[in-house]
Amino acid sequence: MKCKDLLIKGKAKSVYTTDTKGKLIVEFRDDITAFDGGKKDVLKNKGCHNAGVSAFFFEYLEKNGVKTHFFTMLDPYHMVVRKLEMIPLEVIVRNIAAGSIVRNYPFREGTLLDPPLIVIDYKDDARHDPMLNDEIIIALKLVTPAELIKIKKVALDVNRLLSVLLAAEGITLVDFKIEFGRKGKTIYLGDEISMDSMRLWDKKTGESLDKDVYRFEKGDVMTIYNQVAQRITRSVKKQ
Ligand code: 5GP
């Protein structure tokens, strides 16, 4: 299988059509951006670390009953996925207060959020991904009420499964963002789950192991991404 026509070029990934009906190829590029694209760079090998971690998580989630768009990796940068009708929602699960929830609301950074907080943003760069509530989501007909319940349940399942996996490697899953799509009536987890879309803290040192290293220049991004990709992909052996 190979890439045919470019369908979408996002900030860090490109999506291509293929000759096979119902299948697309996602290319994880070496581009990295932050602050709505206000900060950007190209970091050698970044794409393959994110692709590798995403593929690893998708396989692990599938084995544990979560439906994802993942089929296989073609090479370290290219993932074959199910073609979905993507839903323009960014579903964020937060276990610990950090990032925008601390900037925008009176939470203290590091506060445990138990039960975890689900926050859903409208995926729209021009509007700076505004936070939605259930009523707005339904009024905009972005999903049906039943789909919204399903999406929240899957988001919490993903949180539970990834939290356990990462804890085995001494990593705290602070928060993460996932996206969903539908094929017919079935909802699938799409997009990616990588260091770009999660906030990870080392349990011992509290050090950031994710895109915050790039956002706030906390160290060498690629050294951290390389190390964390290795830690994550060996974590399953400890299960
Ligand atoms: P925050 O709202 O605190 O900026 O982000 C919460 C979590 O969702 C973080 O793990 C962050 O990386 C992820 N996230 C939020 N918005 C986006 C986005 O537009 N793209 C990606 N890749 N991740 C996001």
DSSP 162-185: HHHHHHTTTEEEEEEEE-EEEETT
Q: Is the dihedral of CA 10, 73, 2, 222 positive or negative?
A: positive
- pTM of the shown model: 0.96
Crossing angle for the helix pair 46-63 and 145-167, nearest 10 degrees?
110
Does the Cβ of 177 fall within 6 Å of ligand 1? yes
* Alpha-helical segments (H) within the chain: 46-63, 100-104, 134-139, 145-167, 212-215, 221-235
d(CA 37, CA 99): 17
CB atoms near residue 164 (< 10 Å)? 13
Atom 23, ligand 1: residue with shortest CA distance:
197
| Residue 136 one-letter amino acid | I
Report CA(70)–ligand 1 centroid distance (Å): 21
Q: Is the peptide bond before 88 cis (omega within 30 degrees of 0)?
A: no
* pLDDT given for residue 235 in this prediction: 67
Q: Which atom of ligand 1 is the closest one to the Cα of 211?
A: 12
* pLDDT given for residue 237 in this prediction: 52
| Residue 78 one-letter amino acid | H
Q: Which pLDDT tens digits describe the chain residue by residue (239 residues)?
A: 999 999 999 999 999 999 999 999 999 999 999 998 899 999 999 999 999 999 999 999 999 999 999 999 999 999 999 999 999 999 999 999 999 999 999 999 999 999 999 999 999 999 999 999 999 999 999 999 999 999 999 999 999 999 999 999 999 999 999 999 999 999 999 999 999 999 999 999 999 999 999 999 999 999 999 999 999 988 655 45
Is 138 strand, coil or helix?
Answer: helix
Report CA(2)–ligand 1 centroid distance (Å): 30
